[in-house]
Amino acid sequence: MLRWFRSNKCKKITEAEQEPGREEGVDKEEAEDFIRLYHAENPSAGSVKPRLRDVFGEISQTGTYTHTAAELAFGARVAWRNSNRCIGRLYWKSLRVRDRRHVDTADGIAEECAEHLRIATNKGKIRPTITVFAPDTPGERAPTIWNDQLIRYAAYLNSDGGVVGDPANIEVTRMARRLGWRGHGTRFDVLPLIIEAKGGLTAHEVSPELILEVPLRHPEFSWFAELGLKWHAVPAISNMCLEIGGVRYPCAPFNGWYMGTEIGARNLADVGRYDQLPVVAERLGLDTSHDRTLWRDQALVELNIAVLHSFAEDGVTISDHHTESRRFIAHLEKEERNGRVCPADWSWIVPPLSGATTPVFHRYYDDVQLTPMFSHRSRE
Ligand code: ARG
């Protein structure tokens, strides 16, 4: 897969270079690009030359180098700024960065993830947060989390081939069970964290009091609550690698807040996920005998109204796709005023509901991949 381009030079990153393990160590050119970027955007950090000399010296001796706390925080925020698929980047500067690079045991990581959830959830006033654990070093792989988010619902395969729960998590559920975890068998069993550290895999239960969830109801239809649907408050991605100046942090869970459509138009609506549109349509009494009645579209709108209404009523931060689209355009214009391009992937930025009613639909974007960045880890 040769689809990544690094910085404005559009240098292709080959598969071999992406591989974790890093026998060859950190690429000095990548380190230099980052240190220069950091100093260019942070003039108060002093002169770049001595810092570069130190970084190069450290790479020559050890094959890698250590970011200062300020470089790490800047790198993590810019990785968010460079996330082509994310519509919510207006607040990139406000990301809270928890520097936990010294934590490299499975138990330590599980504890810090719990603390991350407590801080990020903030009783519903969601705070964008990242916790950065140990980086890969030459010859030693850092620990990783196998779940794609800190909070994910299990999936159980029925004997008739049906699935109870979130079909997106079949594999990780299987692994959790192999590690001895037993769920309750409901549609919304929160999976344990599966952490790989020092060659071993372990499962770690997330304490229920850390998991804020919102039961879904509808402002007009009282039957909606009977569907028994809910979703968790904090989307915290845990399987992406934070790459800063040639250093890879494969365990760096981060979260923002939800945009309603992620839940209402994808997680609960996709046929390959909770597939709830036929259920909602039936309760609405819609004619589902033909596509042209637009029963799916009508059900989709009611489901999304329920998501936004329930989160708002419970005081849990969420945004609707109209507001978030406007914010994204504001972000893009601000970036351009600052002399930067705002790279974006149209197919991810445009919301999955009412796309053309939002301003993000009606334009094209530069889709270059800048660094620092969040990349998908390859797990072999
Ligand atoms: N779409 C994913 C989900 O529904 C979450 C991705 C990150 N979303 C966010 N708002 N930060 O769980």
Does 209 reside within a domain? yes
DSSP E strand stretches across the chain: 5-6, 11-12, 96-99, 129-132, 144-145, 155-157, 163-165, 193-197, 200-204, 213-215, 230-232, 236-237, 240-244, 247-249, 254-255, 258-259, 318-319, 373-376
Ligand 1 mean position, distance from CA 140 (Å): 30
State if residue 267 touches ligand 1 by the CB under 6 angstroms criterion.
yes
366 assigned to some structural domain = no
In the chain, how many domains are there? 1
Tell me, yes or no, whether 377 lies in a domain: no
pTM: predicted TM-score of the whole model, two decimal places: 0.94
Residue 190 belongs to domain spanning: 5-26+63-350
Report yes or no on 378 lying in a domain: no
Q: Is residue 50 part of a domain?
A: no
Ligand 1 binding pocket includes 189 (Cβ within 6 Å) = no
**CB of 250 closer than 6 A to ligand 1?**
no
Nearest 5 degrees, angle CA 343-CA 132-CA 245?
A: 50
Q: Using CA positions, which residue lies closest to atom 1 of ligand 1? A: 262
Specify whether 89 is catalytic: yes
> Is residue 322 one of the residues assigned to a domain?
yes
In-domain check, residue 21: yes
Domain-embedded: residue 185: yes
How do the pLDDT tens digits run along the chain, 380 residues long?
222 222 333 333 444 444 444 467 999 999 999 999 999 999 999 999 999 999 999 999 999 999 999 999 999 999 999 999 999 999 999 999 999 999 999 999 999 999 999 999 999 999 999 999 999 999 899 999 999 999 999 999 999 989 999 999 999 999 999 999 999 999 999 999 999 999 999 999 999 999 999 999 999 999 999 999 999 999 999 999 999 999 999 999 999 999 999 999 999 999 999 999 999 999 999 999 999 999 999 999 999 999 999 999 999 999 999 999 999 999 999 999 999 999 999 999 999 999 999 999 999 999 999 999 999 986 54
Ligand 1 in contact with 82 (CB < 6 A)?
A: no
